Amino acid sequence: MTSCESQLTGTQRGYQALDEAGLDVTVKTLLNWLSDPEYNIRRSYRDVIHTAYENVAVVPAEPLPDTIKRGDFEISGWVTTGTDRRQRGTPDAAPLRIDGRRGHWDEIEDLWTAGELTDDKFEDHSIDDVIVEDIGEGSDGWTFDGSRYSVEVR
């Protein structure tokens, strides 16, 4: 795959553009495209990918909803700060609660608007610009090192 197509699979906005353009392939096919630059992609799929990329490039993203920027977040899953690692959102430990109103959303919103907000960038900025702004740095920063976690906005 070219870098243009991999950019489509790196953001939610890109995935949405692929879906709206009509791309319907299996996960296995998509993984082959991403991992093997010599993999033969059907012409019809190339046209769909091209259309999706053009749509992402010319259609501006909707702004982040105020319900996100002003929301209360409850994070469940493994949360670590320093040597304190615990599974949050269980009967033994409440979810990690974050007040989004205290966060600085400018960089997240800029990346979102540019179509460059990947999951990794969102996690990094959420920690630095939202979590730390609300509850502090923690004893050694915050990490979410489990294989799964959920975030609810209230």
Q: What is the pLDDT of residues 112-124, one digit of tens each?
A: 888 788 888 988 9
Running DSSP on this structure, what letter comes out for residue 82? T
Which residues face 39 on adjacent strands? none
At 3 the pLDDT is: 45
Binned at pLDDT 50, 70 and 90, residue 49 comes out as confident
In angstroms, the Cα distances linking 14 to 11, 42, 64, 70, 154 are: 5, 20, 16, 25, 26
What CA–CA distance (Å, rounded) separates 61 from 121? 17
Number of residues in the chain: 154
Task: Say how many C-beta atoms besides its own lie within 10 A of residue 130's C-beta.
Answer: 23
What CA–CA distance (Å, rounded) separates 48 from 24? 10
Which tokens go with 85?
Answer: 């690692």
Helices marked H in the chain — which ranges? 3-8, 12-21, 27-35, 43-58, 66-69, 106-114, 119-125, 132-135
Give the residue among 117, 70, 75 at the shortest CA–CA distance from 97: 75
Q: Are 117 and 108 contacting, i.e. CB atoms less than 8 angstroms apart?
A: yes
**What is this structure's pTM?**
0.62
User: What average pLDDT does the chain have?
Assistant: 83
